[in-house]
Structure formats: C-alpha cells, structure tokens
A and B are shown apart, each in its own frame.
Chain A
Amino acid sequence: MKISWKRILLIILATIIIASTVILLIRFAPEPPAREVESARKAISEAAGNKADTYSRKQYNQARVYYDSAMVNWKRENQKFIYFRNYDRVLSFARLSEKKATDAQQNSVTSSANLKSKLSEKLHSLKALERELNKLFDNYPLTEETRSRISKGRMLLEEGDIAFRKGNYLQANRKVTDAEYLLTESFENATENLKNYFKSYSQWKKWVDLTINESKKNNDYSIIIDKFSRKCYVYFSGRKKYEFDAELGKNWVGYKRVKGDKATPEGMYRITKKFDSRKTKYYKALLLNYPNTEDTARFRAEIARGTLPPNAKIGGLIEIHGNGGKGIDWTEGCVALTDREMDLVFKIARVGTPVTIVGSLAELDTVISK
C-alpha cells in the first residue's frame, strides 16, 4: 500500500500544531510564586528558631496563617486549567507571611533580650531583698503567715532562677513576678510592723535616761534590758558595768497585754522580791512589780475598748531568773540569764533596784544599718 504525501503532510502538520500548543502553554502559563512561598517558609522557620512562637506569638501565628492561606490558594489555582490560573493571592499571602515572620523574629529577639535583661536585674534586686529580710527579721517574731509567704517567695525565686538559667524567660518571669509580690509584700509588712514598734523609741529613751540618772544620783545599781538586742545591762553610778545576753518570752515584740501572751513587758519596774534557789525552780529569781500603774491602766483601757475580753487577766510573776543560756526566747515573759550571770545580778540587786525593760536602746535606723 502506498502512503499518500497528502496524509503524511497532515500528520506532520497535526504534530506541529500540538507541539506548538504545548510550547505555548508552557511559555505563557502563569508562573506560581514558588520562590516567594519558599522565602516565607524559611522566614517562619528562622522566626521559630529565634523563639518567635514564644516571645512574639501573635505575629508568628499570623505568619503561619498567611502561609497556610498561600498554600491553600496555590492548591486551588493548580486545580484550574493552566491558562485560567491566577497566583496573585498566593503571592500576596506569601509576601504577607514572610513580612510577619520577619517582624516576629525581630520582635522576638528584642523582646527576649529585654526580658532577659529585666529578669536579670529583678533577680539581683530580689536576692538583695531576700538578704535584707534575713538580716532584719531572722531575729524578729514574724507571724506564721508572713514566714510562710517569705518561704514561698524564696522557693519561687529559686524556681525563677533555674528557669532563667535554662533560658525559659517567660516561665522565669512568671515565677519571679510571684516571688516579687510575696517577698516585697512580706518585707513591707514586716518593716511597717518594725517601724510601728519603734514609735515608742522616744519613750524607751526617756525611761533609760531616767534609770541611768537614778543610778548616778543614788550611786547604786540599776538594770536595763534591751529586748531587740537581747541584752541585759547592769549600771552602777550611771556607768555601764556589766553586759549579759538575755532570753525573753517567745512573743517579745511590744507590751505585755494579757496573761499567757508570752510577751516580756516594757516599762520601768523595780525588784520587789528576791528568791534564792530554794524558792524558785529557775535557779535564782528577782521578782518585778509587773503590772505597774501604766500596765494596769493600759490593760483596763483595752478591756473597755473591747480589744481584750472582759474576763482577761493581766498576769504577773515577771522575773529576772536563771536557767538561761538556751539561746532561744523560751520564757513565759520573764528575762532569763545564765546561772553564773544570775549569781552576779542576784548579789548586787536588792529590793527596790530599778529594772527598765525597753524595745531597743538603738534607734531604728541604727538597727537597720547594722
């Protein structure tokens, strides 16, 4: 059989037309924004590497949403016939995504650096506050609640410090902020309490001056108890002759208000009785005239105000006695000395010897600066 030239030409022509169509399709088909999408993806990846998902979460999430939108639109356009595709929206979302990711990255770097610096300062200042709390209030009978808050604050500060060292600044910030609240509040409350206590300082000073003057005037002994420094001073003829450590009642801050409050009273007293070892279980004892007139007046006023119940008792039997040297405040409100020191005080004291008990001989500023 013979193939006609006409048919061969027809086949060649058809092939050329099809090939040309393919070439034209490839040549003029819209180009997808693959490079822009890739740039957006890389920007998101870099942002995540710089913890933008943590420190610039909103912008980072927006970048991801834009990227997903670009991909959805790309997929949708690919499903259309090649000539009807339009990648404008894909391109637009890809560019938005890249911009947001870049912003998120920059923001994250800045935010984390700022947070790190802020946290470092805060940790430093809170550790200083913690040391200050130790220095001022280790010796001070804080309430159980305040102690507990200080303790929780310290634990949170430690947790914050660990998170900081691990580079988890957000977690560290949460812990440190809570620690700051607890420690600062406790410090302020305790300081306020201490300041209130020291409001009586001028009164204490007056009592101490009167006591020392009396010692000088009478050329005799007088005893001064400094509750804050836990000291017992013996004066003779207006001059300090002896100094001993003293132990007090557990709740030594403030006046003694009522029987059983374990507080050591504050005021100007005198020795009313001397008990040798046969008459006291605390080695030797010097009984004071507590309650004195001021104590009784204050107690009655409290009953009248209703701050103490009507059946409350003022208490008594406040002594300077032996059996001390335990190193803690353990008495029911008395002042305890070691037996050896008690021997000396017992020897020099007589009925009528003045005993003045004050909160502190030093002013608050001096106490704090110490």
Chain B
Amino acid sequence: MKNKVLMGLAAIAMVAVLSSCGKVPQEKIDAANTAITAAQTAEAAVYVPAEFAAVQDSMKAIMAEVEVQNGKLFKNYKNVTVKLDQTLAAANQVAANAATKKEEVKKEVETLMTEIKAVIEENGKLVKKAPRGKEGAAVLEQIKTEMATIDASVTEAQGLYDKGAYMDADNKVKAAKERAVAINNELKEAIAKVRR
C-alpha cells in the first residue's frame, strides 16, 4: 500500500514538473498593455515619440520572451515578470512625460498667441502712421493683405488650439508670428526713414 502511495506521489511530481513550473503572468501583461494604451491616449506618439517607441519595443520583446517560455517544458516567467514591472513603470512615465510635454507646448502656444496679438495690434497702429513711402499705395495694400493673412492664420491656430492640437497650432502660430514681426520691422523702418 505504502509503495502505491509513493508511486502515485512520484507520478504527480513528474506531471507537475513536466506541465511547467510557472504560469503566464497574464495580469501583468494586461496591466502593461493598458498602461501603453494610456500613454497612447496621452498622445505620447506625438509629444514623446522616441520614448513611446521604446516602450512599445520593450513590450514586443517581452511577448517574444513569453513565447520562448511557453515553448519550454520547464517554464520560468520570473524574468518576464521583472521586465513587465519595468515596462509598466516606463509606460506610466511616458504617459506622464507626454502630458508634461503637451502642457509645455500648450503654454508655448498661449505665450505665442499673446505675443502675436500684441504685434498685430501694434501693426494696426503703425500702418496708420506709416508714410505712404516712395513705393506708393501698392506696398501698403500688400501689407494690409499680409496682415489679413496673418489674422486668418492666427484664427486657424486658435481653432487647432481649441481642438487640443497644440503641436499643429504651435507650428502655425510661429509662422504667423515671423510674418507679423517682419511686417512690424518693415513698417518701423519706413517710419524711421521719414523721421530722419
């Protein structure tokens, strides 16, 4: 009887050994994937693309490692678990970094918007004072047209800002500001020439 018990225990131990020593850490995999999705939702691909790509790559490497272990008789997910914890933390960090960067760009757009509105206002005053200049009305007409284009561009940038597309708004408002500053300089130069 005792021998039968011993034989049974040995067989169970053998089956346990053969069937594996560990289980796929599915909960951790799900948690890491959820964190990556959250980073994506935080527009990490837009604001911190390199960091986001690195996290995605880590996850791919982990999933390959899971399959390596899945294929073994003696499975060991210890290393996978450690890496999953690291990737989860990294994904959370990437999401936080994306949010920080997004906020920075948002603030930059706000500053640029304030600055460009001041330049536009100044240009409006300068154009009234501007000498008609030797170039005549055509130049002033062109400047007025340029000012209208800048206004339209600022409105477009504001629309992008309102939609939360801060990166696009940033590019647009920067270009508009450069044009507005160029006109400002042109007008100031023309006024200064007359005073001399």
Decide: A151 near B146, CB < 8 A? Known: A158-B175, A327-B134.
yes
Q: Which of B2, B6, B134 has the most CB of A within 10 A?
A: B134
Q: What's the Cα separation between A328 and B60 when bound, in Å?
A: 69
- CB proximity to A under 8 Å, residues B142-171: 142, 145-146, 148-150, 153, 171
- CB proximity to B under 8 Å, residues A41-87: 41, 44-45, 48-49, 67, 71, 74-75, 77-78, 82, 85
Q: What's the Cα separation between A78 and B3 when bound, in Å?
A: 36
Decide: A78 near B70, CB < 8 A? Known: A7-B3, A15-B10.
yes
Decide: A140 near B138, CB < 8 A? Known: A11-B7, A162-B171.
yes
Binary contact track B115-128/A, C-beta < 8 Å → 1, others 0: 00000000000000
User: In the complex, what residues of B have CB within 8 A of residue A250's CB?
Assistant: 137
Partner of B138, one of A82, A142, A152: A142
Binary contact track B36-66/A, C-beta < 8 Å → 1, others 0: 0000000000000010010001001101100
- CB proximity to B under 8 Å, residues A15-35: 15, 18, 22, 25-26, 29, 32, 34
- Contact status B150-A34, CB under 8 Å: no
- Contact status A71-B132, CB under 8 Å: no
Q: How many residues of A contact B (CB 8 A)?
A: 58
- Contact status A139-B179, CB under 8 Å: no
Majority secondary structure of chain B interface residues (helix, strand, loop or mixed): helix
Decide: A74 near B175, CB < 8 A? Known: A138-B138, A151-B145, A329-B137.
no
- Contact status A38-B64, CB under 8 Å: yes
- Contact status A141-B138, CB under 8 Å: yes
- Contact status A139-B139, CB under 8 Å: yes
The answer, yes or no, to whether B5 is at the interface (CB within 8 Å) is: no
Q: What residue of chain A has the Cβ atom nearest to residue B45's Cβ? A: A53
Decide: A163 near B171, CB < 8 A? Known: A78-B70, A147-B142, A155-B176.
yes
Q: What's the Cα separation between A247 and B57 when bound, in Å?
A: 70
Binary contact track B74-98/A, C-beta < 8 Å → 1, others 0: 0000000000000000000000000
User: In the complex, what residues of B have CB within 8 A of residue A155's CB?
Assistant: 149-150, 153, 175-176, 179
- Contact status B73-A22, CB under 8 Å: yes
The answer, yes or no, to whether A337 is at the interface (CB within 8 Å) is: no
User: In the complex, what residues of A have CB within 8 A of residue B63's CB?
Assistant: 71
The answer, yes or no, to whether B67 is at the interface (CB within 8 Å) is: yes
Partner of A328, one of B57, B61, B137: B137
The answer, yes or no, to whether A302 is at the interface (CB within 8 Å) is: no
The answer, yes or no, to whether B140 is at the interface (CB within 8 Å) is: yes
Q: What residue of chain A has the Cβ atom nearest to residue B147's Cβ? A: A151
- Contact status A151-B136, CB under 8 Å: no
The answer, yes or no, to whether A197 is at the interface (CB within 8 Å) is: no
Decide: A22 near B3, CB < 8 A? Known: A151-B142, A230-B136, A328-B132.
no
CB distance from A350 to the nearest CB of B (A): 30
Binary contact track A127-153/B, C-beta < 8 Å → 1, others 0: 000000000011111101001101110
The answer, yes or no, to whether A214 is at the interface (CB within 8 Å) is: no
Partner of A26, one of B7, B73, B172: B73
- Contact status B134-A245, CB under 8 Å: yes
CB distance from A64 to the nearest CB of B (A): 10
Q: What's the Cα separation between A154 and B174 when bound, in Å?
A: 14
The answer, yes or no, to whether A178 is at the interface (CB within 8 Å) is: no
- Contact status B145-A71, CB under 8 Å: no
Q: What's the Cα separation between A75 and B66 when bound, in Å?
A: 9
Partner of B179, one of A7, A15, A158: A158
The answer, yes or no, to whether A37 is at the interface (CB within 8 Å) is: yes
Q: What's the Cα separation between A45 and B142 when bound, in Å?
A: 50
The answer, yes or no, to whether A195 is at the interface (CB within 8 Å) is: no
- CB proximity to B under 8 Å, residues A312-370: 326-330
Q: What's the Cα separation between A25 and B145 when bound, in Å?
A: 81
User: In the complex, what residues of B have CB within 8 A of residue A295's CB?
Assistant: none
14 contacts between A and B (CB under 8 A): A7-B3, A11-B10, A32-B67, A34-B67, A41-B60, A48-B53, A142-B142, A147-B142, A150-B142, A150-B145, A155-B175, A158-B176, A158-B179, A329-B137
Known: A144-B141, A148-B148. 14 other contacts (CB 8 A): A14-B7, A26-B73, A32-B67, A37-B67, A38-B61, A71-B64, A71-B67, A77-B71, A137-B138, A148-B149, A230-B134, A250-B137, A326-B132, A327-B132
The 5 tightest CB contacts between A and B, nearest first, are A327-B132, A328-B132, A158-B175, A159-B175, A151-B149
